[in-house]
Amino acid sequence: MNQLEKLFDVPGPRGKRKLAIINTTGLVFILLIAVALVWVLVEKDQLSANKWKPIFTVDVWKEYLLPGLWGTIKAAVIAIVTSNIFGIVLGIGRLSPIAPIRWFSGIVVEFFRAVPVLVIMIFFYFSLSQLSLKADWLDSANAPFYGVILGLTLYNGSVIAELVRSGVYNLPRGQREAGMAIGLTHGQTLQHVELPQALVAMMPAMVSQLVVILKDTALGYIVVYPELLRQAKLVGTTYVNLLPALVVAALMFITVNTLLGMAAHGLSARLNQRTSAPADELADPGLLVDAD
């Protein structure tokens, strides 16, 4: 019995014909929608060479797209680092045996998880813009950047804190009991036994959250932060080719997200190798002798 047969009953000849008809109908429907979309774009003169020609010029990439890509990557990298620090600290706070710390961490996490990230960005953008009028050390030109970073950090850090808390809670209860049995304190058990395992277990969810952080940098467009989406919009308004500019920006987002996902999955695989022994090593009789 193959894997598919374990998941559901294999259809008979009549069922296979029905599935073939459904799949063919769906494919034809999708093709009709694609043809209609291309037809509309041709009618609106969105696929002409004049619309796409500026995309392949050096000036567009040098003045707009590459600076926008750098703005997106810079904000994403900083927000990824700060979100993880903020999230791990709050996650540990939610696991603290000290009730006030646990309550405070819970209030912070639930508040910033409930508030949309765009609202947080706009709040800090306007707050920092007003503060820059009274403080010489703060440049108003940096308010969009700080607003984006703070918004991404507070929102995604709160999500990561919940991942940390749930990762520790999902561990077998014996992990904590074993740590306490050998004389470790609650904090030492959390630091040396539970947290490393929880971080590895929640790595797939962490990968998804990193991609979310990168995509959410596009919300900086609202607070005039010069990220990729805003720069693509400037290309579209300057050269009257908004659709091609947005298509190129989307392809750049897809490429960067794919590379980020591959890097994160590679890190996850390395962590799994370092925290688990191969099956043949576990079955080695010599290890059992040494253990005795």
pLDDT grade for 271, boundaries at 50, 70 and 90: low
Mean pLDDT of the chain: 82
| Mean pLDDT on 140-149 | 91
Most confident range, picked from 1-10, 47-56, 110-119, 195-204:
110-119
Q: Is the pLDDT of residue 192 over 80?
A: no
CA distance 63 to 65: 7
Query: Could you give the CA distance from residue 211 to residue 88 in angstroms, rounded to a whole number?
Result: 18
